[in-house]
Chains A and B, each alone.
Chain A
Amino acid sequence: AQSVTQLGSHVSVSEGALVLLRCNYSSSVPPYLFWYVQYPNQGLQLLLKYTTGATLVKGINGFEAEFKKSETSFHLTKPSAHMSDAAEYFCAVSESGGYQKVTFGTGTKLQVIP
């Protein structure tokens, strides 16, 4: 069975500061990993994904994440927070093959302080 743990349901950063949102996963097979962003009253939008190959993946809006197999982590970072980054972020894991069940973390709400 696969699972996702997101440390910190709420994270606050100052505008211009580093954003670090943590995600750890468990999976019995090599995982596919995702970060989604959800703005208020909207659905989820894919930020970035890791499938195979390069372990540092870049996404939209200046975000990136690094797949670390030894740490079973896929933390999301952005060097400099912008007010428009305030949203809820979900980490997700998918197992290859079959119906590709996707399991989501509980989400981290990012607040950006001016």
Chain B
Amino acid sequence: EADIYQTPRYLVIGTGKKITLECSQTMGHDKMYWYQQDPGMELHLIHYSYGVNSTEKGDLSSESTVSRIRTEHFPLTLESARPSHTSQYLCASTGLGSTGELFFGEGSRLTVL
């Protein structure tokens, strides 16, 4: 069973609000990722991190930002939510020397009204 946790699982919020999606893992993994998932679409990588103080943008441009101050924690922030941000956000991690196998959290489903 993967030890990676996301909160909140579901969030409904009004336009213009600031939101932070939390992601924590207890496996000591260096690499962490945020994916955005819409129905019927592939997962799109929006952010990743190789380790503490390392953050990079992924393939899909996103207005969100991330930080990596601690190995186990990789929060995603939207300063001003808009309806176009409505989606599911999946956090994942993998360890050094892995073959790319990802461990996923259960996801945070964001709805912006």
| A residues adjacent to B (C-beta < 8 A) | 4, 9, 32, 34, 36, 41-46, 49, 51, 90, 92, 94-96, 99-107
The distance in angstroms between the C-alpha atoms of A90 and B105, with both chains bound, is: 16
Could you give 7 example pairs across A and B, Cβ below 8 Å? A32-B99, A32-B100, A43-B90, A43-B107, A44-B92, A46-B103, A51-B99
**A100–B50 touching, CB < 8 Å:** no
- Tell me whether chain A's interface is mostly helix, strand or loop, or mixed: strand
Interface size on B, residues (CB 8 A): 26
A57 to chain B minimum Cβ distance, whole angstroms, is: 12
The distance in angstroms between the C-alpha atoms of A4 and B109, with both chains bound, is: 25
**A106–B99 touching, CB < 8 Å:** no
**A94–B99 touching, CB < 8 Å:** yes
**B104–A44 touching, CB < 8 Å:** yes
**A42–B106 touching, CB < 8 Å:** yes
Mark out the residues of chain B between 44 and 103 whose CB falls within 8 Å of any chain A CB in the assembled complex.
45, 48, 50, 90, 92, 94, 98-103
> Is B41 among interface residues, defined by CB-CB distance under 8 A?
yes
**A42–B107 touching, CB < 8 Å:** yes
**Among all A-B residue pairs, the 4 with the closest Cβ atoms:** A94-B100, A43-B104, A100-B100, A104-B43
Which of chain B's residues have a CB closer than 8 A to the CB of A9? 40
Which of chain A's residues have a CB closer than 8 A to the CB of B90? 43-44
Which of chain A's residues have a CB closer than 8 A to the CB of B99? 32, 49, 51, 94, 96, 100
**A102–B41 touching, CB < 8 Å:** no
**B105–A105 touching, CB < 8 Å:** no
Which of chain B's residues have a CB closer than 8 A to the CB of A43? 2, 4, 6, 90, 92, 104-107
Q: Which of A41, A95, A100, A106 contacts B94 (CB 8 A)?
A: A100
B47 to chain A minimum Cβ distance, whole angstroms, is: 12
